[in-house]
Structure 1
Amino acid sequence: MSAPPAAPKGWFYKIPVIGWMARDLARDFHGNIYYALIAVLTLLVVAVKIWGLVALGLTAVLLTPVMFVILILLTLGD
């Protein structure tokens, strides 16, 4: 009988809900990535429902560095 895989170590995995999702993604990334994306999208929809366009605007502000990285990667080419 083989031993079960070791659980990932680190402070990020000890956060109650986020750590549970991170452990699942670390164990089976391709099987759980869509579940994680749907959960994040649902949280965004609920935040917009509760706080209105402020939540959507803050999400856009938080994703600005990601867009900068994408634009830089596009300009690098092959």
Structure 2
Amino acid sequence: MSAIEMPGRLPIWQRLLFAIPLFGWLARDAAHGKPEDLFYTAAAIFSMWGCSIMVFGLPGLYIPALLMVPMMFLILILISRG
């Protein structure tokens, strides 16, 4: 019996997500960090979206919103299934 409990191995999709340099760090902090890290992650995502609007103009606003549509469909399907 040891004093340290070793965590189990993460699933492959989490290891792949956490391996992405910038987004993986944000996802790891949101999943395994302190509760206030979730607010920092949300602020960072909105800041990146704002920077894309400043750099690319209206496509920087529209394209991330269009990419979120399949995610919202999935969320609505999961909610409707109970």
Q: What TM-score do the two structures reach when normalised by structure 1?
A: 0.68
CA distance in 1 between counterparts of 2:64 and 2:5 reads 38
Determine the C-alpha separation between the residues in 1 that align with 2:26 and 2:49: 16
Alignment partner, residue 4 of structure 2: 3
Which of the residues 38, 42, 45 maps onto 2:47?
A: 42
Structure 1 segments (4+ residues) deviating >6 Å: none
Gaps of 5+ in 2: none
- Whether the 8 Å CA contact 1:13–1:23 is kept in 2: the answer is yes
User: What is the aligned-residue RMSD (CA, Å)?
Assistant: 3.1
Separation of aligned partners in 2, 1:72 and 1:11? 25
* Count of aligned pairs: 77
Identity of aligned residues (%): 29
Instruction: Using the TM superposition, give the Cα deviation of residue 14 of structure 1 relative to its aligned residue in structure 2, in angstroms.
Output: 1.8
- Measured at CA, do residues 56 and 30 of structure 1 come closer, stay the same or move farther in structure 2, by a change above 3 Å? same
